[in-house]
Structure 1
C-alpha cells in the first residue's frame, strides 16, 4: 500500500490531527514524497505561508514532483515564485518555476 493511500485513509477516518497532518506534510515535502503531499493538500487547508515554505524547501532539495504538486495547489505570487527560484540550482525545478512565473506575468499584463 502506498504512503498516499495510507495517509488518505487516516485523514478520512479522522485518525490524525491537523497538527500531525502539518508535520507529516512538511516532512513529506522536504523528502520528496509527492504521494503523501498530494492527499494532504487536498484534505487540509494549510496556511499559505506553510505551503510557500514547503514549495521553497522542495525547490531547494530538487524535489520536482512535490514542487509540481504544490505549484498546482495555488495561484502563487511572483514573490513566492522568486523565493523558490532563488532557492534552487536544479535545472528541472528551475524550468517548472520559470514557466509558472512567465505564465503569472503574462496573466498579470
Structure 2
C-alpha cells in the first residue's frame, strides 16, 4: 500500500493526491518507497481547501493613489485698508429753547 493512501485514510482525506509529503526538505513523489528514505521523519502538509476571502484583508495589497489635494487660491495682494470715515462736524448746535433740525430730530 502506498504511503500517501495510508496517510490520507488516517487523516480522513478523500483524495490522497492533495497530501504533500517531504523528507529532509525534499518533496516525495507519490510512487516513492519508504525504504529509500534517508530519515525516519516525514513532514505532512494538508492544504486547506478554498473558501472565500472576506473583509479588508482581501484588498490588503491593493493600494490606490493618494487623493489629490485641493488647489489653493491666489494669495490676496496687500491692499490699503479702507480709510476711516471722517468725523462730521455738528452743523446744528442748538441753544436753549431753539427748535431741533435734521431728518431724525426727536421733538422734546
Compare relative contact order (CA 8 Å, sep 6+) and give the higher one, 1 or 2: 1
Which structure has more helix as a fraction of its residues?
Answer: 1
Going by fraction, where is strand more abundant, 1 or 2?
2
* TM category, shorter: under 0.3
Q: When the two structures are superposed, what TM-score results if normalisation uses the length of structure 2?
A: 0.18
What TM-score, normalized to structure 1?
A: 0.18
> Which one has the largest radius of gyration?
2
